[in-house]
Amino acid sequence: MNKPHMLQSGDTVMIVAPAGPVNKERVMRMKLRLEEMGVHVKLGNNMFRQNGFLAGEDALRLADLQDAITNPNIKAIFCSRGGYGSARLLPYLDLEPLKRQPKIFWGYSDITFLHIICNQFAELVTFHGPMMEECGAEDVAHETFSSLGQLFSPTAISLTASRPDYPPFFHTVRAPIVGGNLTVLLSTLGTPYEIDTRGKILLLEDIGEAPYRIDRMLNQLRLAGKFNECAGILLTDFHDCEAGGNTSLSIEEIVYTHIVPYGIPILNGFSIGHCTPNIGIPLGSYATMDGQSGTLTIEPGVIAN
């Protein structure tokens, strides 16, 4: 995997909107915050457009994203928000410039589509991190915003699992991290952009999905063989995914049905995804899951200049 160079004062970065419509006030606030960190910020030409549930027509969103990928002066690409729409761009993106010039690519949720193709087709380490809208909120959590610091210096990430809900393991597992939003991962199956989990640590997160839907999605991953050669599982935040009452299975029961029988090491409970704080991590970097300490250590996602 290719790692991008770290950001330096004076570098130019670009904010784009490949998916849903953007909150302009928050993005402009984040633009100022990035400038205070020492970088120049270019905004996508079409970023504040809207076409229904999309941030403008496909051709316009594609043009901005391709410009960010192709322009040699752009050192990092930040996604303004998720929502829906990234998948509509996949067949038309030219990722060859990223192979020649690896760049920081940052976002999550619907942006999972773009992480997968950058990881698998451009062999690029990318960053599953909070959106520019999120970081531009007046009350953004300190840990959310400060996770951007890993882009300015090669920094290992160390996190501790907060929920020991699954069978313990007493060894370490070292493998690259892949994955992201569970709903989006399911949408890649049967396409040329299908996620490859062989020998990988798979990160899973989601928001607002009823437990029966989580069950359906994990069952589909199981039927697609995605747990067969998976090295490990990271269950991060499943925000607002628990049903009330006594008529539903819990997320834990669902995981016991579909994943635990494979004997895959599982760590559960990280502030990654649709949660506060939302910690950014590099996808494609090697990580070590330590079963005895319940810790996750991820190698830096950038290299020194």
Could you say which of 133, 205, 209, 299 is catalytic? 205
Coil, strand, or helix at residue 112? helix
Local structure of residue 146 (DSSP, 8 states): H
Q: Is 146 a catalytic residue?
A: no
- Rounded to whole angstroms, the Cα distance separating 297 from 129 reads 16
- Rounded to whole angstroms, the Cα distance separating 300 from 255 reads 30
Q: Is 133 a catalytic residue?
A: no
Bridge pairing between strands 266-268 and 232-239: parallel
Could you say which of 133, 274, 285, 299 is catalytic? 274
Could you say which of 80, 86, 109, 285 is catalytic? 109
Q: Is 134 a catalytic residue?
A: no
Token pair recorded at residue 62 = 């594609």
Tell me the CA distances in angstroms from 184 to 82, 86, 103, 201, one per residue in order.
11, 10, 23, 17
- Rounded to whole angstroms, the Cα distance separating 179 from 113 reads 9
Give the number of other CB atoms < 10 A from CB of residue 145.
Answer: 19
**Residues annotated as part of the active site:** 109, 205, 274
